[in-house]
Amino acid sequence: MAFEHLDHTADTAVRVLALDGPDLFREATRALLSILLDEASAPVADLEPIAIRLEAEDPEALLIDYLNELIFLFDTKRFLPSRLEVRGLRLEKPALLEGEVRGEMYDPARHRAKTEIKAATFHGLEIRTIGGRLEADVVFDL
């Protein structure tokens, strides 16, 4: 559905708006990429797949674990996520995400780095249902 950047004093925050659970994780992927890369960068291609399987105690922990996994992949392999294909998602306790993140390796000739992210945080995080849609505010430690 969408995401928007929010004002935050020391870090950066986004509000992720989604039609359903899978859409929440897909939009969170897009939001993270918008923080990592300048909007003038070349689009990130869906060249390489990386399997994802995460379990957490609740949906909020699952979202944070997923975003931190993407940050880890960027920090260690310079992998830029472009898209998430959700194969399985359970938002009840215990929460589960199975799927495949597609993207490509960071290329300084094509991609303009914008912001280094240390971690996605639990600060103020709550996945809310509003009007039949999902919404989550995520704060990233820079």
The bridge status of strand 119-121 relative to strand 12-18 is unpaired
Q: How confident is the model at residue 100 (pLDDT cuts 50, 70, 90)?
A: very high
- The CATH number of whichever domain residue 19 belongs to comes to 3.55.10.10
Q: 77 CB contacts (<8 Å, ≥6 apart)?
A: 105
Question: Cα separation of 66 and 72, whole Å?
Answer: 10
Could you tell me if 95 and 62 are in contact, meaning their C-beta atoms sit under 8 angstroms apart? yes
State the residue range of the domain holding 31: 2-141
* Tally of structural domains, the chain: 1
Q: How confident is the model at residue 2 (pLDDT cuts 50, 70, 90)?
A: confident
Check residue 40 and give its pLDDT.
Answer: 86
Q: pLDDT tens digit string along 103-123? A: 999 999 999 999 999 999 999
The first and second tokens of residue 75, run together, are 């920090």
Helix/strand/coil percent split, the chain, to 5 = 25, 45, 30
Q: pLDDT tens digit string along 27-65? A: 999 999 999 999 888 999 999 999 999 999 999 999 999
Q: What is the mean pLDDT of residues 67-78?
A: 98
Spatial CA neighbour of 124 closest among 139, 107, 108, 141: 139
Q: What is the amino acid identity at position 88?
A: G
CA angle 83, 73, 71 (to 5 degrees): 80
CB count, 10 Å around CB of 53?
A: 11
- Mean pLDDT rounded to a whole number for the chain: 94
Region at 42 (left for phi over 0; alpha for psi -120 to 50; beta for the rest): beta
Indicate yes or no: pTM above 0.75.
yes
